Amino acid sequence: MPTTRLRRFAQWLQEGWVDYLAPQLYWSSKKEGQKFPVLLNWWRGENKKKRHLWAGIAPYKIGDEKHPDFTPDEIVLQIDTTRGQLKDGAGTIHFSAKPIMQNNNGIRDTLREKAYRGKRHNPRKPLDYHNFADCAGFEFY
């Protein structure tokens, strides 16, 4: 059952009150009960207005003995899962950049070799700011 805070964030997404949401999905794909793909799919289902949705992932857990499931390959799996579940240029937000910059457990090398090969551009998916029926009295430029 989602917490009150999660239900509030989900409502913001469902109503289209936010331009984007980046849920902190700091669980591994192997975590019983709260697996990364299941959580991501739940948020995808809440995105009724098709707002930008970017998965927050946790490379800061790499190398932490409390989180043995977090390896560079787990992070790549989460990136691939996000790309598969969320179309239209969906991406991920890494927290934090520090382990990537320090190349903890080879994460920077793994990302370069497996997840971010070659050049890419960020696809733009504009929101229609002129189609907000609930915003009577506001002008959008």
Let me know if 67 is exposed, middle or buried by CB neighbors in 10 A (0-12, 13-18, 19+). Answer: middle
pLDDT of residue 128: 63
Give the number of residues written for the chain: 141
Structure tokens at 94: 């890494």
Alpha helices in 4-122 (DSSP H): 4-15, 36-46, 72-85, 98-101, 107-110
* pLDDT < 50 stretches in the chain: 1, 140-141
Q: What is the pTM of this model?
A: 0.83
pLDDT for position 127: 64
pLDDT in the model for residue 56: 97
Residue 132, pLDDT score: 56
